[in-house]
Chain A
């Protein structure tokens, strides 16, 4: 149930059908509440293991009540308590072992709940006009089964607007058809593409460690660099496709989490298109306040761009280390932070050298964009080594080839990524240019039916033939 399986989709569709028996907000909220409770019930095997999780939810709500009742001066303490409780429950490795709970307990989805709770607390503290969030609404928002496992991280006001509306979002045949096609597409991404790409990664990892000839190892290294970004995209965006479609069938619009991230030609823009709900959260609650605070402290206009670089580094470092509890994620955070801050410095440097207009012209150049796209892709692939591998595997991978061989691998990967992504962009533009009755054929209802049917058939055949579950949703572990 915690993956993009048939069971999960059937469960979500059943909940959507029941939810649409009435458009009354009470009925829809009851159905969502029952469905979410059942969903968590399926995932929890022993009732007492859920107690720490419940403790976090209760603490979050108590803190919210405190802020709502006018304790803004305690805000720092409240945030500190919530963050500390979260870090303690997640068993971050820097905490003393003796201080941790020594029994297995349920933490699935806790990270996403953490973001939702912090968002509620910050907004409650900032808002001049106090608005009470009832406990039922709080639970519906934090435990909504469509966003429970891996997001997307929805704002409370957007959730409440759709969920508690007396006139909910319309749900006609066209919307239903589109959502069903999106579910099929998501299922295909996770269970077919994701599964195949994960197999290539696993095979390459085995091959790079085997006593084989250098050519076999070089090819395995190249696959490791190129395949994981594609896998995680299919795995995560496929799941998000499914949950967004299920939520829409329940008349709730979830925020989009991906916007063709590998089409971008810069690391900075990449994070505007990858896990967008998380990036936006960090932008709103880390980057902006930090930049404002630094600008208040250092008032020189000349320093502003450099302050932005520092804020980018801090934000993406934090975003990186959020992903895991171990030291690998510190490196992941540093690599991400370095990526965005160097990209920002590059922008600043070129703008100073070429002028704003000159830099804009360069950024539009197709060759520059193509190589930028390839570079962004392999930088992300490089960062991801500290995301999916542990130190033992990282040593095994990087120790398998000499430094010169690795340079060759990265250069080849850059060129390959540049070429493949350019061809992809060109083919997409070409297909979209084929129009009929005033619009691209590719986005017509007929086209949705054709590729929905085709992807559905392929998915069923492959899933039945392989008779094994697809890899779990990677982001559910965070």
Chain B
């Protein structure tokens, strides 16, 4: 076997392979597979360390408060080292929102913005000081010369319905503007409930026999295998690098089981129309409360990674998909109720590899992505709210006022 092997030893007399050599060959094959898999996992663990201080932003939240809503735990602090990002501190104030300071009465001359939204508004997986909510008031203050402060009322899984229920908290802060950071998921899950995080096949309430039976069922077994494989750092590493390419990421993302691609399709489905109607109802309620309180209301769409990757693909995107469609739908809904719509989506076209501003596996914006979002919002708000003369190029996007 150590002899060189001709490409086709048909003409030569073929040496017999003994049973012992067969066993050796199989062992070598298995050894290769184990060594390769093991060494790649080690490299992946070195490149994507989980960090010593365990925890996640979700530890500062009561995910199931009995009403299906999420609540932040007041005065909670937790550290998280996401696999694809840097160490992030979550500091919740006494009101249970991710802010460095407690909510206080507004000082004269201060322009106060209250941000509503879900995980992207919260800045999940990103250090607090690097979220767009933290950067935006600093950049606006610097650019306009006015004192701008921002209170972040974003919480993961806080659906549009839940936001409508909690509008009194935003209004009580007496802001000069309420800014709703909407994500595509908010639109397709207007009244979503917090999912449970448990490995498939586990049900702690069931008896031992039923748990074994459930675990051995073919579907459950596959789900468990798939779940376990998904936990490997190798998978995270490979996805991270492969998903850097928009043309590889988009088809994989669209094939994902929990991804609703209806919002990207040029021809809207009846199901999507119903989801838009539901969102419209929630948006109307939110905007009405804001209007009644006399507070200007604006909405911005924070695109998801697939949407941004489609934008990066330019004219070579798959047929029948339009990353700007939701943008247009949202503008119509928000402005029809008197709110303003801040359109930052086309700005993603002007930066190279915009999808790099998102964590490839986790899907949330990373530090660079939050910085870009803050830049885009600063330009729009400086031009349209603070009437900065040199930045007045985006008036058209600030519709509704």
Q: A residues touching B (Cβ–Cβ < 8 Å)?
A: 169-170, 172-175, 177-178, 195-196, 198-200, 202-203, 205-207, 209-213, 216, 248, 253, 436-441, 443-446, 448-450, 452-454, 457-458, 461-462, 465-468
Chain B residue with Cβ nearest A458: B36
Known interface pairs A199-B247, A466-B252; 5 further A-B residue pairs with C-beta atoms within 8 A, sorted by A's residue number: A203-B245, A206-B247, A444-B1, A445-B3, A462-B242
Give complex CA distance A232, B67 in Å.
57
Size class of the B contact interface (CB-based, 8 Å): 35 or more
Chain B residue with Cβ nearest A171: B10
- Contact, CB under 8 Å: B33 / A439: no
B145 at the interface (CB under 8 A from A): no
Supposing A174-B9, A178-B8, A444-B4 touch, asked if A206 and B28 sit within 8 A by C-beta, the answer is no
Give complex CA distance A455, B315 in Å.
34
Residue numbers in B under 8 Å from A213 (CB-CB):
352
B119 to chain A, nearest CB (A): 24
Residue numbers in B under 8 Å from A437 (CB-CB):
2-3
Give complex CA distance A53, B239 in Å.
43
Residue numbers in B under 8 Å from A443 (CB-CB):
4-5
Give complex CA distance A213, B7 in Å.
49
Supposing A445-B2, A446-B28 touch, asked if A466 and B242 sit within 8 A by C-beta, the answer is yes
Give complex CA distance A90, B252 in Å.
34
| CB proximity to A under 8 Å, residues B220-239 | 234-235, 238-239
B336 at the interface (CB under 8 A from A): no
Residue numbers in A under 8 Å from B315 (CB-CB):
206, 209
Partner of A175, one of B8, B234, B242: B8
Residue numbers in A under 8 Å from B14 (CB-CB):
170, 172-175
Residue numbers in A under 8 Å from B37 (CB-CB):
457
Supposing A445-B3, A449-B25, A449-B32 touch, asked if A202 and B9 sit within 8 A by C-beta, the answer is no
- Contact, CB under 8 Å: B15 / A466: no
Supposing A200-B245, A443-B5, A444-B3 touch, asked if A170 and B10 sit within 8 A by C-beta, the answer is yes
Main secondary structure of the interface of B (DSSP, over half): helix
Residue numbers in A under 8 Å from B1 (CB-CB):
444-446
Partner of B2, one of A175, A212, A446: A446
A459 to chain B, nearest CB (A): 12
Give complex CA distance A453, B350 in Å.
44
B258 at the interface (CB under 8 A from A): no
Residue numbers in B under 8 Å from A169 (CB-CB):
10
B251 at the interface (CB under 8 A from A): yes
In the assembled complex, 16 residue pairs joining A and B whose CB atoms fall closer than 8 Å, in A order, are: A173-B17, A174-B9, A202-B246, A202-B313, A203-B245, A203-B313, A210-B352, A437-B3, A441-B2, A449-B28, A453-B32, A453-B33, A454-B33, A462-B238, A466-B242, A468-B251
Residue numbers in A under 8 Å from B29 (CB-CB):
449-450, 452-453
Give complex CA distance A205, B246 in Å.
12
- Contact, CB under 8 Å: B36 / A457: yes
In order of increasing CB-CB distance, the 6 nearest A-B pairs are: A439-B4, A445-B1, A172-B14, A202-B247, A468-B251, A453-B32
Give complex CA distance A216, B352 in Å.
7
Give complex CA distance A247, B2 in Å.
26
B145 to chain A, nearest CB (A): 30
Give complex CA distance A248, B9 in Å.
11
B338 to chain A, nearest CB (A): 33
Contact mask for chain B residues 347-363; partner A; CB cutoff 8 A; 1 contact, 0 none: 00111110000000000
B198 at the interface (CB under 8 A from A): no
Chain B residue with Cβ nearest A253: B8
Give complex CA distance A401, B351 in Å.
18
B65 at the interface (CB under 8 A from A): no
